[in-house]
Amino acid sequence: MRKHVIAVAVTNAIPTFELAVLCEIFGLDRSDIVDPWYELRLCAAEAGPLRTVAGMQIHTTHNLDDLFEADTVVVLGCSRAVHSSPPPSLVEAVCKAYELGRRIVSLCTGAYVLAAAGLLTGRSATTHWMNASDFARRFPKVHFDPAVLYTDDGNILTSAGAGAAIDLCFHLLRRDHGAAVANEVARRMVVPPHREGGQAQYTPLLVPPENSDDLAPVLQWARDRLDQPLTISQFARTANLSERTLARRFHDQLGTTPLQWLQRQRVRLAQELLETSDQSIESIARRVGFRTAANLRHHFGSVTGMSPMTYRRVFRYRWRSQHTAEPISGS
């Protein structure tokens, strides 16, 4: 099996952070987790020398032609000059890569390049919230969402700025290798393994700064009790909030409802158990709080788009082949 090639289109004055995220997640050799791992290629999209916005010179080993041979093409955030008038050669190359069936990803203002190529027309997309008005004005045919962390429209994915690049990259890891692999990389990077794409980019200013993390204790309380029947009233009592205030805090800080958040946490735990154990579907359903296999199949399918058994066939084999030659017994 060959490595999954990720080709990054590099323009001048790109954000240092987003480039570092790609290098940290996909550029390091993590073949002890999954073998083969990814191969990261930096492809010059403009004449050099190319530097980050912080002035660090970027050594590009490939050019735009290499986008066509990649499995995933990433367009990084770009300078105002580039996203105001994307280089025609870059727009043409991204468009051709898509026509060849490549997965296309933009980070932050890289969405301008995808929109200029016509790839976002009629699709959901996002970029940094500070560019919301400008982007929506320039590309009215894009279903633009200025609030979310990232969007996944099949073979085209976009992210908001800065930290949201991490969220989208982990989302790609989960799509390619499953939740357990993504969680292991997150542990090594000492970052949260998962934030929903629909979570808000930022907390509205009406929420006092001192309350920005007030949900953390109740979220951890719930994660520790996923196998138990949990109610909204229990959430509210634990958070010392009214149910109405709790719902508002979830919406403002997480972009979802308490019940939706809980269901997704149960599905995420089910994913990891399907990948890393031989427990039966019924046992996993009880372990994550869905109680019956039928309930697990329903909620799992609504979140992942596949059945638990299909997910296990896809990702369990990959995990087992990388981590053990012996079956893992269930409890």
Tell me how far apart the alpha carbons of residues 282 and 290 are, in angstroms, rounded to a whole number. Answer: 9
Pull the structure tokens for residue 195: 């934030």
* Annotated domain spans of the chain: 4-189, 203-331
Q: Which residues pair with 10 in a beta bridge?
A: 44
How many other C-beta atoms are found inside a 10 Å radius of the C-beta of residue 34? 21
DSSP state of 142: B
Q: CATH 2.70.170.10: does it fit domain 203-331?
A: no
Task: Tell the CATH topology of 4-189.
Answer: Rossmann fold (3.40.50)
pTM, full prediction: 0.73
Q: Is 178 left (phi over 0), alpha (psi -120 to 50) or beta?
A: left
Task: Give the separation between CA 58 and CA 42, rounded to whole angstroms.
Answer: 9
Tokens at residue 27, please? 């550029």
For the chain, 331 residues long, give each residue's pLDDT as a single digit of tens: 789 999 999 999 999 999 999 999 999 999 999 999 999 999 999 987 999 999 999 999 999 999 999 999 999 999 989 988 999 999 999 999 999 999 999 999 999 999 999 999 999 999 998 888 899 999 999 999 988 899 999 999 999 988 899 999 999 999 999 988 998 999 899 887 666 555 555 544 333 333 445 788 999 999 999 999 999 999 999 999 999 999 999 988 887 899 999 998 999 899 889 988 889 999 999 999 999 999 999 998 888 878 899 888 877 655 555 554 443 333 2
| DSSP-assigned letters across all residues of 56-90 | -EE---EEGGGGGG-SEEEE----HHHHHS--HHH
- What is the C-alpha to C-alpha distance for residues 146 and 109, in angstroms, rounded to an integer? 12
